[in-house]
Each structure stands twice: as structure tokens, then as C-alpha cells.
Amino acid sequence: MGTFDLPWIRKIAAVASLDDENRRRLYEYLLSSGSAVGRDEAALALELPRSSVSFHLDRLVREGLLRVEFRKSPDRTGPGSGRPSKLYIPVMDEIGVSIPERRYDLAGHLMATAIKRAEAGGAPVAAALREVAAAKGSESGRPGDFLGAISELGYQPTPDASGGYRLLNCPFHRLSRDHRDVVCAMNGAFLNAAATASGLSADVVEPVPDHGLGQCCARIKALEGDS
């Protein structure tokens, strides 16, 4: 087995934690709740066993997607009512007026596939990741509707003053904060291949070095036929 950057491997584990359907439903429920949520409340809302909800909540805490608070409930009476309840709260940088769409499941799949390919062929992981991202981008393109294809992936293309499009959301935001070079290279390979598969030239995608917080590291040039 090759030697890889350990923090990167840990980040993949965090990405993979959202690949479970019930865990993702649980996280989305907490995001939409607007307040701290206990295990019983979450289990009732999602119609899941309390033991399963506890497992998934604690997993999300370990991966840094939730934090825990202990509070005494004014509504509880009787024996044990003085014990504080364990409540779960999403990390604040993932909460907004509209919840940004993230694609950590896609990033985790690409990274894990790249590591497997690198181990099998002895190629550098970074090169393997670009190849895997490009292959997935080719699958994700849509002839004649590149903007529609990337909109469905959460990029939020929005016209800018230069006649092109800024991408107002980074689907891989959490990963890009700590591994910007790796994630932006992966993202660029993905978008370039998706553009080509949609009938455009790859150079329609260009990097944005000083993109805003939460925005994509790439923009789309003016498309042929745009007024």
C-alpha cells in the first residue's frame, strides 16, 4: 500500500459519513430545524429507532458536522428531570437562509476511486484524482445544456458583469477549506470534462484565484449564443 497524507484520509472519512441515506436525512433535518435537537425528537420526526438515531448523531459529531450541547429542559419533571439533555447542533458555517447544496458524497467517491487507482498502478494520487474527476465530469455533461447540468449539481451559475457566469456555490466547500489545491484541481478537471461532454470547449471554464467564501474556484466564460 502506498503512503498518503493522513489528514486527507480523515477528510474522506468525514465525506463518507454523509453517504448513508438515514444519516444524511438526519443531518438535513437538523439543518432545517433551526434549533438544537435531541435524540428522541429526531427519532420521532424521522420515524427511526432511537438507537439508530443515537449512532448516526454521534458519528456526525465525530466527523465534525455537528456539535453537542447539554441543557436542562424546563418541561421535564419527576426523577431524573434535573439531568441536562444532550442536544445536537449543526456547525454554523453550513447554515444559512438557504442551505447550500454540498456534494460530499461525490467528492468522497472520486477521492476513494483515485486512491484505489493510484495504489493499483503506482501513479501519483493527485494525477489519478484528476483522471477520475474528468471521467465523472464526462458522464455528467449534458449536450446543449451545460449550465443546467452543473446547476443540478449545486454550482449555482449566475451571470456576471463580464458576460460569463460566476458559480456562487462550491459543492465541496468543507473540503476546499483545508485542501484547496487538491479540491480545486479535482473540481477543474470535473467541470472541464463536463463542458466538453456538453458540446463546449474545455477552456470555457477558467479558474478564479480570489473567489469568495463558499463560492466555486472556477467561472464560466460567455457561452456562444448568449446575448
Helix (H, G, I), strand (E, B) or coil at 69: strand
pLDDT reported for residue 215: 85
Helix (H) or strand (E) holding 104: helix 104-121
Sign of CA dihedral 9, 11, 12, 18: positive
Helix (H) or strand (E) holding 53: helix 50-62
Full pLDDT tens readout for the chain, 227 residues: 333 343 445 555 555 666 677 888 888 888 777 778 999 999 999 899 999 999 999 988 887 788 899 986 555 555 555 678 899 998 744 433 334 567 888 898 999 999 999 988 888 999 999 999 999 999 999 999 999 999 999 898 999 888 999 998 888 888 888 888 999 999 999 999 999 999 999 899 999 887 777 789 999 999 876 64
Burial class (CB in 10 A: 0-12, 13-18, 19+), 189: buried
pLDDT reported for residue 83: 74
**Separation of alpha carbons 163 and 175, rounded Å:** 29
What the chain holds in terms of domains, given with CATH numbers, is 19-94 (1.10.10.10), 104-220 (no CATH)
pLDDT reported for residue 12: 57
pLDDT reported for residue 11: 53
Cβ–Cβ < 8 Å for 155, 216: yes
Q: Supply the pTM of this predicted model.
A: 0.57
